[in-house]
Amino acid sequence: QVQLVESGGGLVQAGGSLRLSCVASGNIVSVNVMGWYRQHPGKQRELVASITSGGISDYVESVKDRFTITRINPKNTVYMQMNSLKPEDSAVYYCNADITTGISWLRTTSVYWGQGTQVTVSS
pLDDT digits (tens, 9 = 90+) for 75-97: 999 999 999 999 999 999 999 99
64 with 58: CB under 8 angstroms? Answer: no
How far is 7 from 77, CA to CA, in rounded Å? 11
Q: How many CB atoms lie within 10 A of CB 61?
A: 6
Beta bridge partners of 30: 100
**CA-based angle 34:38:42, to the nearest 5?**
150
Does residue 70 surpass a pLDDT of 80?
A: yes
Residue range 42-51, pLDDT digits in tens: 999 999 999 9
For the chain, the straight-line distance linking the first and the last C-alpha, in angstroms and rounded, comes to 41
Position 1 pLDDT exceeds 90:
no
